[in-house]
Amino acid sequence: MQYTSVSHFLRAGKSHLAKGPVALIFVEDDVEIDTTLRHHLDLGFKSVIAFLPDAFSIAPDLAERCPRVHMDHPRGQTMLDAVTAVAGAAPGLWFYYCFNAEYLFYPFCETRTIGEMLTFHTEERRDAMLTYVIDLYAPDLAAVPNAVSLEDAQMDRTGYYALARADADNHNHPRERQLDFFGGLRWRFEEHIPQSRRKIDRISIFRAKAGLRLRTGFTFSDEEYNTYACPWHNNLTAAVCSFRTAKALKANPGSTFEVHDFKWHNSVPFEWHSRQLLDLGLMEPGQWF
């Protein structure tokens, strides 16, 4: 199940879009590719599709289960265009996107599938879900120079905050039910992060429809998709637990020699369980119990 491009996949691989939800995994480097794919298969996604350069390999059992789409630069506008194109080919289907070394958690994900969660979310008349990108990092960068350690992963237990999202088309008044969220490594090491990339919110889970576009900043062209809740009560939110920022801070020449340690007094071991994220207020169960 290998495709030479996104357009080839859309011509020859649409059978993988017959049922949802569908996970789109964009592979930027060779770190934790297999664990990322396995994690999302275990959540119950009907299809887990990997977009990656030919230089990166996938375990043989995963190669049989996960369609592989060739993409030289699976980031930036290329990634945004791919999500828009694939979702546009399957209106009505639920999609999720992330990068390698990122792991989706939602309330009660240990005992409930992604399909069960999205069935409830659909019944609440929601077409998208806000996710927070929660940074993970190794506690000892001398021992783990690329900052990725699944066994000893750490996370920040505090330091998260939100600001009103200004509407440039309405005299910069705050947008209704939209906020910009900050925290984690992007906050603690903000001098190394461009201002436009400091937010930790993404609309990572959405239901496709005609004309919908994923924009820079991981928001959508339909502003209702970018809201954190409906007008009448709180809705489900989820977390994308990610080594991506830690990897970048240690890989980029401008920051690698400035960052000696990610651990601080508010670091705690990551338990790989939704209960911890719920207890810390890093995702919301809404009305789903």
Angstrom distance (rounded) from CA 220 to CA 214: 5
Residue 270 has pLDDT above 90, yes or no: yes
CB 41, CB 103: distance < 8 Å: no
* Mean pLDDT, residues 56-69 taken together: 96
Residue finishing a domain among 100, 120, 140: 100
- In this predicted structure, what is the pLDDT of residue 170? 85
- In this predicted structure, what is the pLDDT of residue 202? 97
Q: Are residues 162 and 254 in the same domain?
A: yes
Q: Are residues 264 and 238 in the same domain?
A: yes
* Mean pLDDT, residues 101-108 taken together: 98
Quote the distance between the C-alpha of residue 196 and its chain's center: 17
Residue 71 to residues 55, 82, 129, 202, 258, Cα–Cα distance (Å): 10, 9, 26, 22, 32
- Give the pLDDT band of residue 80 (cuts 50, 70, 90): very high
Q: Are residues 77 and 135 in the same domain?
A: no
* Mean pLDDT, residues 194-215 taken together: 96
Residue 172 has pLDDT above 90, yes or no: no
Angstrom distance (rounded) from CA 74 to CA 278: 31
Q: Are residues 108 and 96 in the same domain?
A: no
Helix (H, G, I), strand (E, B) or coil at 267: strand
- In this predicted structure, what is the pLDDT of residue 168? 84
Q: Are residues 25 and 92 in the same domain?
A: yes
- The total number of structural domains that make up the chain: 2
Residue 67, preceding peptide bond in cis (omega within 30° of 0): no
CATH number of the domain within which 27 lies: 3.40.50
**Residue 93: domain span:** 1-100
* Mean pLDDT, residues 244-265 taken together: 94
Q: Are residues 196 and 270 in the same domain?
A: yes
Angstrom distance (rounded) from CA 38 to CA 36: 6
Task: Note the pTM of the prediction, 2 decimals.
Answer: 0.96
Q: Are residues 86 and 125 in the same domain?
A: no
Residue finishing a domain among 38, 67, 100: 100
Residue 142 has pLDDT above 90, yes or no: yes
Start-to-end C-alpha separation, the chain = 38
- In this predicted structure, what is the pLDDT of residue 39? 98
- Give the pLDDT band of residue 18 (cuts 50, 70, 90): very high
- In this predicted structure, what is the pLDDT of residue 171? 84
